[in-house]
Copies of this chain bind each other. A is one copy, B any other.
Amino acid sequence: MLTQVEQAVKGLISPQMEAVAKAEGFTPEHIRDMVAAGKIVIPYNTNSKPKAVGIGKGLRTKVNASIGTSSDIIDYEAEVRKAKVAQEAGTDTLMELSVGGNLDRAFMAVHCGINRYTIERLRKQNYRYGGLVSKGGTTMVSWMEKNNKENPLYEHFDRVINILKKYDVCLSLGNGLRAGAIHDSHDRAQMQELIINCELAQLGREMGCQMLVEGPGHMPLDEVEANIIVQKRMSNEAPYYMLGPISTDIVPGFDHISSAIGSAQSARYGADLICYITPAEHLALPNEEDVRMGVHAARVATYIGDMNKYPEKGRERDKQMSKARRDLDWDKQFELSLIPEEAKKIRDSRVPEDEKTCTMCGEFCAAKGSDKLFKADLAGDKV
C-alpha cells in the first residue's frame, strides 16, 4: 500500500485528494502536488477511514477537537457523546487522547522532538514560569531522565515512521516543551524543540509519511505572526497545528475566548489547523457543553482569521449576510449564519411585535428606517 505522500510523489491522485480538491475549489493535480511537497496533509488512517479533510497551504483553516478520558474520569460513553457533540458543532477533525483508551484514531500526536539536547537548553535557561504543560511530553522526559537515555521516538524515528506508514497515519509532531505561560513564550527550550520538529517533519515526509508540526500554547498577541513565519520557514511550509494560542494566562473559565482571540491571529498569519480550547481549560475535564462552546468559539475565530488569510475567498458570505440584515430577511440570515442553531434559539426566545424587526430596537429599527430613506441610493455594488 502506498501512503498519500507516496502516491502524490508518483503523480497519482487518490480519492482523498479528489475529495479535498472538490471541497476546497482546487484541481486534484494542485492538491496532489501540495501533498507531495508536504504542504498539505489529508489525515486518513486506513483503520478508521475518516472523511477526507485537507489541512495546509491555501485551504480553509480547520478546527480540531481533542477528547478522551483522564485517570480521574473514565467514562467511555461520555467521551463518545462528546465526540458526537463536537461533530455536530462542526469540528473538522477529532483527536482521541484518552490515557487508557483503545479507540480508533485518525491521526496522532507523538513526542518525537524532545531530545537530550533540548532538555539541556531548558536546564541552561534556568527558568520556566509555567513549567512543563504537556502530559505526554512530561511523561517522555521523565522516562529519559530516569533511564538516562535518549528519547527512543527521536533516536529511532525511522522505525516510528515505518510503523505509521503501514496505516497511512498522519503524524502530528507534538511539542512537549511548548510554552504554557505568556512569559515562557518563545523561550529557547521551545524554539529548540521546534527546530527538531521541523527537521523531523522533513525527514518523515521524505520517508513518505504525512507530517504536521504542533505549535503552542500560550503566547501574547504580538508574537503570533513571528511564531508562524519561523515555523513556516524552518519546515518548508509544513502544515502548522496551533493550540490556540491562548493570549493571556489569567482568564480560566474564559479560555475559549482568550484562545479565540489568539486563534483568529494564528489563522490569519498562516496556521492551518487550530485546536479548540474549552471553557474548562486549566480547570477540569470538559463536559459536553464545554466541548460545544469550544468548537463554536474556534470556528468563529478561524472564520475571522481566514477572512484576512484569503480575503478574495471568504467575504462574499459576509456581504450577503449584510444585505439580508439590511433587508430584514431573517430566513436568509439564518441560512448564512456560521452557527444558525444558536442564533435561532436567541431570536425565538424573545418574540418581537413586528416579525420583520427584533426586540432590540423594535419600532425604532434602523434597518427599517434607512430602507425607507435610501433604498435606491444604497442598492449599488462596490467594484
A357-371 interface with B by 8 A CB criterion: 357-367, 369-371
Q: Is A87 in contact with chain B by the CB < 8 A criterion? A: no
Q: How many residues of A contact B (CB 8 A)?
A: 116
Check A347–B378 contact: CB distance below 8 A. no
Q: A221-B264, A346-B280, A347-B283 are in contact. Are A364 and B254 (CB under 8 A)?
A: no
Any chain B CB within 8 A of the CB of A227? no
Counted per complex, copies of this chain come to 2
- Nearest residue (CB) in B for A132 is B370
Could you mark each residue 320-334 of chain A with 1 if its beta carbon is under 8 Å from any beta carbon of chain B, else 0?
A: 011101100000010
Q: Name the residue on B nearest A372 (C-beta).
A: B142
Contact B300 A248 (CB under 8 A): yes
Q: How far is the CB of A54 from chain B (nearest CB, A)?
A: 22
The reply to whether A130 and B221 contact each other, CB–CB distance below 8 Å, is no
Q: Pick the contact of A369 from B138, B321, B338, B370 — CB < 8 Å?
A: B138
Interface residues in chain A, defined as those with a beta carbon under 8 Å from any beta carbon in chain B: 70-73, 99, 122-123, 125-135, 137-139, 141-142, 145, 180-184, 218, 220-222, 247-254, 256-258, 260-261, 264-265, 268, 279-287, 290, 296-297, 300-301, 303-305, 307-308, 311, 315, 317-319, 321-323, 325-326, 333, 336-339, 341-343, 345-347, 349-350, 352-353, 357-367, 369-374, 377-382
**Further 5 A-B residue pairs, CB within 8 A, beyond A71-B353, A71-B363:** A72-B362, A72-B363, A122-B374, A129-B326, A257-B260
